[in-house]
Amino acid sequence: MFEKLEFIDVSFEYEGRKILDNFNLEITRGEKVAIVGSSGEGKTTFIKLVLKYISPHKGKILVNGKPLSEFEEWYKILGVLSQRAHIFNRTLRDNLLIANPNATEKEMYRALELAGLKKFMQNRDLDTVLGSDGGNISGGERTRIALARLLLREPEIVILDEPLEGVDKLVEKEVINNIRDFVKDKTLILISHRFSILSLTDEFAVLENGKIVERGKYHEHSQDSLLKRFFKAEQELTEKFRKGDSI
């Protein structure tokens, strides 16, 4: 059972540039934390370290007090939805059964509905071939199929990396509410710039220059805090796009 994930003085460099620099973060069972920050601050590197795709150059990553590299059950308790989720050139059924080989058709259809794909399934069935890397479907549909795949599992820890990428605004609220129900008894790590989905989390951790510089609930931060300045900049940018202004 998952109890705690710890990053202790973790550093990682790429081509001579420090991406994470004495990075410290602790996430305990049941916490729901959003990691926010500008592009290039190390959020993707953090995810890759959690997934064991790369290893830190310095510092320690611990799960339940044990080195992550030695935690054999990690992938069994971890569920990830990435904006670059892979879709196999197989049927929809095959792509879902990857997550849970024992899932029934009823469970698969339910997961697809919860992922906002009810309309998508009106003219398709589980034997629809999705194409190479989802070539027969849109980017938003690819993301939602990956979400359905996640919903079919019961991971203790959920990582959502820009989970609404390509998702239509018309189904966004529905999808967010379904994700909220799914993660209510789980540990959640969220990376996203969409304000709507950030409501899934209880706390924010602000990443700047490779370090967590602020952490806490939104209302606990002053108006001059980096967190609130970051949100203000994002909101202003969103408004410009909405009005069609040049950036």
Q: Give pLDDT tens digits for 86-122.
A: 899 999 999 999 999 999 999 999 999 989 899 999 9
Q: Which domains does the chain have, with CATH numbers?
A: 18-85+155-243 (3.40.50.300)
Amino acid at 26: E
Q: Is pLDDT above 50 for 57? A: yes
Q: Is pLDDT above 70 for 233? A: no
pLDDT for 186: 96
Mean predicted confidence (pLDDT) in 181-209: 89
- Nearest 5°: phi and psi at 99? -75, -35
Choose between 91 and 215: higher pLDDT: 91
Choose between 227 and 206: higher pLDDT: 206
| Whether 34 contacts 203, CB under 8 Å | yes
User: Quick check: helix, strand or coil at residue 202?
Assistant: coil
The contacts found for 101-109 with CB under 8 angstroms, 24 or more apart, are 103/152, 107/152, 108/148, 108/152
pLDDT for 66: 95
Averaged pLDDT of the chain: 87
What confidence category does residue 64 fall into, taking pLDDT thresholds of 50, 70 and 90? very high
The tokens describing 86, both together, are: 């892979």
Mean predicted confidence (pLDDT) in 192-207: 85
Out of 40-49, 191-200, 223-232, give the one with best mean pLDDT. Answer: 40-49
Q: For residue 81, which of 163, 141, 139 has the smallest C-alpha distance?
A: 163
What confidence category does residue 222 fall into, taking pLDDT thresholds of 50, 70 and 90? low
pLDDT for 174: 85
d(CA 67, CA 199): 31
Q: Is pLDDT above 70 for 218? A: no
Q: For residue 108, which of 77, 140, 151 has the smallest C-alpha distance?
A: 151
What confidence category does residue 247 fall into, taking pLDDT thresholds of 50, 70 and 90? very low
Residue 8: CB atoms within 10 A of its CB come to: 15
Q: For residue 32, which of 218, 213, 165, 226 has the smallest C-alpha distance?
A: 218
d(CA 130, CA 85): 14
Q: Is pLDDT above 80 for 229? A: no
pLDDT for 184: 93
Mean predicted confidence (pLDDT) in 181-205: 89
Q: Is pLDDT above 50 for 246? A: no
Instruction: Write the DSSP assignment of 117-128 as a string of letters.
Output: -TTGGGG--TT-
Q: Is pLDDT above 80 for 210? A: yes
Mean predicted confidence (pLDDT) in 154-173: 84
Q: Is pLDDT above 70 for 163? A: yes
| Whether 179 contacts 192, CB under 8 Å | no
Q: Count CA atoms closer than 13 A to 89's CA, side-chain side.
A: 4
Mean pLDDT is lowest, of 146-155, 169-178, 208-217, 230-239, for: 230-239
Give percent of the chain with pLDDT exceeding 90: 57
